[in-house]
Structure 1
Amino acid sequence: MRHLSPSAPRAPGRRTLGAVTAALIAAATLTAPATAAAAPAEETAAAGLAPAPPMGFSNRDSTRCRAEFDEAYVKKIADIIVTKGLKDAGYTYVNLDDCWAKPERDAQGRLVPDPVRFPNGIKALADHVHAKGLKFGLLAGAGARTCDPAGFPGSLGHEATDARQFAEWGVDQLTYADCGGGTDAEQRYATMSDALRATGRPVVLTVADQGTGRSWEWDGDTAQVRRTTGDGADTWGSVLTRLKRNLPLAAHAAPGRWNDPDVLHVGGYGLSETQYRSQFSLWSVMAAPLVIGSDLRRLDAVSAEILTNREVIAVDQDPAGRQGEVVSSDGGRWVVSKRLADGSRAVALFNETNRPQHIATTAAAVGLPAATGYKARDLWAALEKGTSGAIAATVPAHGTVLLKVSADRAWAQLPPLLSVTAGGDPVAQPGTTLRIVSTAVNHGGSATGTVTLTLTGRNGWAADAVTPSSTNRLKAGGTLATEWDVSVPADATGRNELTLTTRYRSRDGLSFTSVIPVPVLVGVTRPPAGESHLGDLHPLTATNGWGPVEKDSSNGESGAGDGRPITINGVVYAKGLGVNSPSTVEYYTAGQCARVTAQVGLDDESGTQGTVTFEIWSDHRLAASTPKMTNADAARPLTADVTGAETVRLVVTDGGDGASYDHADWADLKITCA
């Protein structure tokens, strides 16, 4: 549960980032051979109640306990799941969160549905859901009370009675939430699990303790779904926190034992289309339950298209039941590989950073066997290309390219994969000329037809090719490198973006187009010579788990300027930055600086909870870091050698207990430059 940032309903908003275009994805360079070792029998056999990760809907984030959460609302959701094609795509569960019961049990000790919200009772509602071919889920408390502040009756001491009620009502999935029930969580979950089995009704049990009980370590067959993270939110920081907590737990996942990083927020409009595609791709690669947390009543066509992509869903529901494993994550460039039942690999190339990144790996690295060549199918663009072994793509900020890669004898007959990159100094001054170099590489098994690259900009930007930007034929393994002189308008300032478009033909005449953004920053202030306060500079980028990054104050978590004086373990600091994990603040240093220093720690306003780690990155190199810090720790001095770095990144990550209370301070933050 979040304690510092109560959720409020979001008004629909416009997305700020475009989708990863089919053309971009089509141009991704991929590779991977493909034979997989047989999975253990217990992992490939049907896993009883939940042989695949459950798919469905939960009302927790869309309505919580507001008055609109009632019988009519739930029926409307069931209707939408059917009419919008979600049921056909695999979404079957309609799950009710807290606040469905009266505050007290009846004289016989039974739970009583709220007569105002559910005048016909829970069984009638479950029957309505079942009549539509869907399944019905309910939340109960593993302690004396549920998690809502109103504190509805929990099931502690009433497990057998409640389990019989749930079975009588027709409950198919029980979310068992632990809030203040004590230290014996394992026993309490086991008691409810046994009680449900004793009813004879098959009920999927979800352990919902926000990951605090580390149920994945002790749970055998008690529960089919284990929450691994705190409650999610429709923010990019929340997605990253949950992703990074769940990814390392792949060894604990198997059919009938699914790791759950909490709900999907696709369609909530707090994120961009690109970010929503990333969450859906990564949740699927992690074999996570696909439970929609956004308000289905205002689901738009783009969100529906994301949620119903059958090929991506097939990765999540793959019968092998493997959770994807991290292959690499250098500099925020993630490669995650998931072994599929047919021996192929689902490969996610995920760009955590705020600028386009070229992400590359190999077939061997993602676990595929040696082969002459491979078929790489882009699951968002629905295109197949042939590649000799490289898996690579230029991925937009916060984007994910998701591929299914397998060995294929006919790989050379497929249209060849081209990877396209663009590099150079991303910073320029108004009225100057900027040099950018683009590179297109043919990773396929045959030559292409004509390849043409075009670099364009808007509002007075112009690019001239200094070296050839096209060729009539690019052989297999060949490279077309082009140097561009870019004229920066005299009135340009801030963040700008050029577009590099690549068009090419395969030997059988098919045409393909890829588009990648080329960011350029204009007029960025370089640090002054000598020692200065780094927080006084304008950052290149700044992302925060809650609220904005605050200058010279703590992070108050909501609006700008709501923080207090920076205070660590009773010591007050006049200068610095207040952030909340996960946070990244990046500065342009132009290769002219040598050292960054700070006093770091959790701000006293966090109370007695919260854990974080601090990192300073010199370009893509980790230059300094702290161990996990708590509120009991005094400020820790942190010094990083950043000699020659073009950029410096200040990163704060969650220490493993969720991002609540993680108000972190970069106090007395200074940089020394030539």
Structure 2
Amino acid sequence: MRKSLSTLILFMILCMLFLTPAYQAEAASNGLAETPPMGWNSWNKFGCNVSENMIKEMADAMVSSGMKDAGYQYVNIDDCWQTDREPTTGKIVADPVRFPSGMKALADYVHSKGLKLGLYTDVGFKTCGGRPGSRGYYDIDAKTYAEWGIDYVKVDWCYVDPDGKLLNYGAKPDAATWYSEFGEALKNSGRGIVFSICNWGEQSPWDWGPQIGNLWRTGQDIGDAWERGTNWYYGIINAYDVAVNHSASAGPGGWNDPDMLEIGNGGATNVEYRSQFSLWSMLAAPLIAGNDLRSMSQETKDILMNKEVIAVNQDPLGVQATKIIDNGDIEILVKPLSNGDKAIALLNRGAQSAKISVTAAEAGLPASEGYIVRDLWQHFSKGSTGTIKADVPSHGTAMFRVSPATIDNLPASLDMTIAASSGQIQSGKSAELTATLHNDGVKDVTKAAISLQLPSGWTAAPLSSTSFERVAADQTVSAKWSVTAPSDAVGVKDIGVTATYEDVDGIKQLQSSQRFNVLPPDGTIYVSDMEPQDSTNGWGPIEKDMSNGEASKGDGKTITIKGVPYNKGIGTNAASSITYNIDGKFDSFISDVGIDDEVSGRGSVTFEVWGDGKKLWDSGLIKAASSTIGAEVNVKGVKLLKLVVTDGGDGNAYDHGDWAGARLTATAQESKGAVLEGPDQAAAGTTFDLSYGLSGMDQNVYAQDLTFRYDPSQVEFVSAESVNSDAVVIVDKAQKQDEVRLLAATIGSNAKLEGDLLKLHWKVKSNTAATASTITLSKAVMADGTGVETELDSKSYTLQINSVDKAALLALITDAQGKHDAAVEGSSAGQYPAGSKAALQAAIDQAKAVADNTAATQAQVEQAINALTAALQTFTDSVITTEPGDTNGDGRYSIGDLAIIAAAYGKTSADPNWSSYKKSDLNNDGKIDIEDLSAIARKILE
């Protein structure tokens, strides 16, 4: 029995030594990547187009942009830097044309910037780009990298089949064994090199990767889009979906890698890019940028260098976030931090904005009187008694750092929500926009104000107060505007909304926006000029006014079907789906459909048009050889229009389906409603007239109830009168300060009134600063004499006020008058020559005339300031500073004074330097002559 037991134990030991995979036996940390690596990689933006100069420029840009200071350190060259191997040594050879100085020199350059250099290879026989792989050369390559000074190596998973298949969809070798062998070579290289395992999530690298490498890819390559459907490339949200499930594998020294950042490459929105940065940071994923660092927009910089979000990613505790709530479109992640705080992310995957909240208890925070909630994107703190919440846009992620606090230490808490009467607005028309502030904290805030940031040509008229002296705890206040789009506007426009307020910590700011699809009043709009509410695409993003192209945004060509080019349209790759909110505004959807010529006669798809969840039309199966099909689909009353392209059943590799010339049409209608007309501009303190009338009315109008809103700090209502002999107007005497209500009635036989009906007289306040002032017809109710009432759309009129600032002129007049009144004419020191006060008074009177003139322009005011300034200077210069004749100022009359006057003999007031000679003009006759010499001579003799 004892012998049998000993034999069994020996057998088990042998199994452990020889049958257990090598990676377990060799498991050891290399002491690197204690926090997720941060850096940059060339592949997403440049592919194989890499070079020595470009890498140096990226290193320079990483420093100059501030990325290095934010924590980025690795500059990584992806595929295509190598060409072949030396025949005798087997050492890998860098492309001598693209990298003429060699990798050692390049590494030295990058190191001189305080950064680190990374390279790419493949665990297989070739790289994905067909260059020499490392299989069979692991030790040689690792030592070569060490000799060059390489700090990071990314190892891919292509050509692992010796038969030369790129992806090898058949049987593959044991990835853990091959990568373990490469990792052992790196350990033996003599240099610490970060090991990035890139085998696309195959064979569950999260199970064995932590014992071998510093990071391991959890899925396929990422593409520059929010969602990529079912093809090889993942979208941002697809890559997240895989990595989020393996939080137990991550920790200091080893990290789940959902692939590189696409931020700044253009295939997704900034909201979606902020989500990627937020989610990757919550996942403790490597932050490896993939854009062109030399030409980043400010928006891209703001995302990539958000130090508060980076701090969550780099937290030394090294815990990956876990998903605590998943309600379909709404997900909530929580990540513990080393100081006891919790990072919380609220993800909205849906197509509409959503209110998302989570309690402190659900997030695993300890019980507390309150919590400080730090918004990591808006960069300010709010107080909460137990709920963390936010309004999150479609595909957006709100991110917070939450810590317990006592009630006394809680900051105020103010939330802002934006709503519009419709997300659609017709050009030349108005819509209401409302911003609501709610104080859900325990402390009041003061001096709250809300303002709009309008696109060029847009106007906004306040329909309520926009500032609030105090917003108490649990109080809600709202500001409302009527916003008007210019008559030539079309497409997508965003209106910014900013709220400021003060609490015990100082001034704080909230920012949001409202997006409008601007539709033409009638006629046609191309769908490529509209913003989709939601979209997915099988390969890269959908492309506006070009074919699908490849995976990057903007890489398509002119849409072409059967040799026919189209300047407008949408380029897609099946499977794709694009949803537009058309709000029942259109009659027909029209488009030519077919497979783009760029795929050279390959591909098969079906096009579908859906309205409000019902399929309205499909093309049937279309192949590259099929004729172009024209679609004309009735979409009357449809609110949500969805354009779908499906795979024809043979894979989607070449399914480049075009919605060529896609457009929406509406039946032209006669413009009707209220008309407001007046001058384009008026000066402060002046009056102007605003005409009101009706256009295109198809009913009799016997009575009208009209309410005009205006800003009383800018203009004031004077009176109103009828300009039509068949109508009278009555002004409501109980009107509010910021509105005027008029009742107009028809008294003649012509009840259907057209053209100008009323004239409203207004006055611009005299102290108004130069601005645009808007008068809005906020209510217009028509009655036809039978009891039927019709309410017209609101209408706005904007006046540009040319304000005249007279403050400087008035101050100068006061100063000049004071100096005039205090002056004494005479011939002694400190006195002024005869006639000088009269000249100054004349200049003062001329300036007063301009100041008192309410019609004076700013240019006239400036001229008056210049004239009075010159007159005052002349008067000041004329003061007698010494006794007449004491030209050298020594307090006595001497030969020195005579010499000075003699030197100036012959000078007159016409001389440009007269001010320096004037003291020698003893008799003040504007010239220096014998009389002046005689006068000083007499004084000397006295």
Common fold: TM-score over 0.5? yes
CA positional deviation for 1:174: 1.8
Equivalent positions of 1:652-667 (< 5 A) are none
Aligned to 2:51: 69
* 2:580 partner letter: Y
Aligned to 1:321: 319
Q: 1:651 to 1:394 in 2, by over 3 A?
A: farther
**Quick check: which has more Rg, 1 or 2?**
2
* 2:37 partner letter: P
- Give yes or no for contact 2:209–2:215 (8 Å, CA) kept in 1: no
Q: 1:121 to 1:347 in 2, by over 3 A?
A: same
- Please tell me whether residue 249 in structure 1 is matched to residue 249 in structure 2: no
Aligned to 2:277: 280
Q: 1:340 to 1:612 in 2, by over 3 A?
A: farther
| Separation (CA, whole Å) in 1 of partners of 2:614 and 2:334 | 28
SS of equivalent residue, structure 1 residue 315: helix
- Please tell me whether residue 409 in structure 1 is matched to residue 406 in structure 2: yes
Aligned to 1:33: none
| Separation (CA, whole Å) in 2 of partners of 1:190 and 1:465 | 67
- Give yes or no for contact 2:261–2:277 (8 Å, CA) kept in 1: yes
- Map Cα deviations across residues 86-133 of structure 1 (whole Å, 9 max, x no partner): 444322223222233332442233323344455564445445545655
Aligned to 2:213: 223
- Please tell me whether residue 362 in structure 1 is matched to residue 344 in structure 2: no
- Map Cα deviations across residues 591-625 of structure 1 (whole Å, 9 max, x no partner): 799xx9xxx99999999x99999999998xx999x
Q: Name whichever of 542-551 and 402-411 sits farther off.
A: 542-551
- Give yes or no for contact 2:560–2:597 (8 Å, CA) kept in 1: no
Q: 1:75 to 1:46 in 2, by over 3 A?
A: same
* 1:510 partner letter: G
SS of equivalent residue, structure 1 residue 419: strand
CA positional deviation for 1:527: 13
CA positional deviation for 1:539: 5.7
Q: Name whichever of 610-619 and 388-397 sits farther off.
A: 610-619
- Please tell me whether residue 587 in structure 1 is matched to residue 580 in structure 2: yes
Equivalent positions of 1:154-193 (< 5 A) are 154-182=133-161, 183-184=172-173, 186=175, 187-193=177-183
- Please tell me whether residue 194 in structure 1 is matched to residue 184 in structure 2: yes
Which one of the candidate residues 502, 506, 509 is aligned to 1:505?
A: 502
| Separation (CA, whole Å) in 2 of partners of 1:616 and 1:388 | 48
CA positional deviation for 1:414: 1.0
- Map Cα deviations across residues 150-201 of structure 1 (whole Å, 9 max, x no partner): x221112222333333344443322111222131251322332233334454
CA positional deviation for 1:313: 1.4
| Separation (CA, whole Å) in 2 of partners of 1:587 and 1:196 | 52
SS of equivalent residue, structure 1 residue 112: strand
| Separation (CA, whole Å) in 2 of partners of 1:210 and 1:523 | 44
Q: 1:196 to 1:384 in 2, by over 3 A?
A: same
- Please tell me whether residue 516 in structure 1 is matched to residue 505 in structure 2: no
* 2:143 partner letter: R
Aligned to 1:52: 35
Q: 1:587 to 1:291 in 2, by over 3 A?
A: closer
Aligned to 1:635: none
- Give yes or no for contact 1:440–1:481 (8 Å, CA) kept in 2: yes
Gaps of 5+ in 1: 1-44, 529-533, 566-575, 625-630, 632-641
Which one of the candidate residues 468, 473, 480 is aligned to 1:476?
A: 473
Q: 1:527 to 1:537 in 2, by over 3 A?
A: farther
| Separation (CA, whole Å) in 2 of partners of 1:268 and 1:485 | 36
CA positional deviation for 1:585: 1.5
Aligned to 1:5: none
SS of equivalent residue, structure 1 residue 252: helix
> TM-score normalized by structure 2?
0.52
* 1:191 partner letter: E
| Separation (CA, whole Å) in 1 of partners of 2:188 and 2:614 | 56
Q: 1:456 to 1:339 in 2, by over 3 A?
A: same
- Please tell me whether residue 378 in structure 1 is matched to residue 359 in structure 2: no
| Separation (CA, whole Å) in 2 of partners of 1:435 and 1:465 | 10
| Separation (CA, whole Å) in 1 of partners of 2:456 and 2:296 | 35
Q: 1:405 to 1:650 in 2, by over 3 A?
A: farther
* 2:287 partner letter: L
Q: 1:525 to 1:301 in 2, by over 3 A?
A: closer
| Separation (CA, whole Å) in 1 of partners of 2:574 and 2:344 | 28
CA positional deviation for 1:475: 2.5
CA positional deviation for 1:645: 7.9
Q: 1:142 to 1:440 in 2, by over 3 A?
A: same
| Separation (CA, whole Å) in 1 of partners of 2:304 and 2:576 | 28
| Separation (CA, whole Å) in 1 of partners of 2:516 and 2:653 | 35
CA positional deviation for 1:69: 0.9
- Give yes or no for contact 2:532–2:581 (8 Å, CA) kept in 1: no
CA positional deviation for 1:241: 0.4
| Separation (CA, whole Å) in 2 of partners of 1:221 and 1:282 | 25
| Separation (CA, whole Å) in 1 of partners of 2:195 and 2:607 | 37
- Map Cα deviations across residues 22-55 of structure 1 (whole Å, 9 max, x no partner): xxxxxxxxxxxxxxxxxxxxxxx99843221111
| Separation (CA, whole Å) in 2 of partners of 1:616 and 1:52 | 49
Equivalent positions of 1:573-652 (< 5 A) are 579-580=572-573, 583-588=576-581, 590=583, 646-649=639-642
CA positional deviation for 1:270: 6.9
Tell me: higher relative CO, structure 1 or 2? Use CA pairs within 8 A at least 6 residues apart.
1
| Separation (CA, whole Å) in 1 of partners of 2:356 and 2:45 | 38
| Separation (CA, whole Å) in 1 of partners of 2:269 and 2:582 | 29
Aligned to 2:439: 442
CA positional deviation for 1:322: 0.9
Q: 1:585 to 1:119 in 2, by over 3 A?
A: closer
Q: How many residues align?
A: 592
Q: 1:662 to 1:223 in 2, by over 3 A?
A: farther
Q: Which has the higher helix share?
A: 2
CA positional deviation for 1:374: 1.6
SS of equivalent residue, structure 2 residue 216: strand
CA positional deviation for 1:346: 2.3
RMSD, aligned α-carbons: 5.4
Which one of the candidate residues 191, 202, 206 is aligned to 2:196?
A: 206
Q: 1:368 to 1:502 in 2, by over 3 A?
A: same
Q: 1:380 to 1:523 in 2, by over 3 A?
A: closer
Q: 1:128 to 1:360 in 2, by over 3 A?
A: same
SS of equivalent residue, structure 2 residue 89: coil
SS of equivalent residue, structure 1 residue 97: coil
Q: 1:109 to 1:81 in 2, by over 3 A?
A: same
| Separation (CA, whole Å) in 1 of partners of 2:207 and 2:659 | 34
Q: 1:58 to 1:444 in 2, by over 3 A?
A: same
- Give yes or no for contact 1:234–1:270 (8 Å, CA) kept in 2: yes
Q: 1:142 to 1:519 in 2, by over 3 A?
A: same
| Separation (CA, whole Å) in 2 of partners of 1:339 and 1:127 | 38
CA positional deviation for 1:440: 1.8
SS of equivalent residue, structure 2 residue 446: coil
- Give yes or no for contact 2:79–2:127 (8 Å, CA) kept in 1: yes
- Map Cα deviations across residues 255-286 of structure 1 (whole Å, 9 max, x no partner): 23322233334565777766654443333223
- Give yes or no for contact 1:554–1:564 (8 Å, CA) kept in 2: no
Q: 1:305 to 1:524 in 2, by over 3 A?
A: closer
- Give yes or no for contact 1:105–1:111 (8 Å, CA) kept in 2: yes
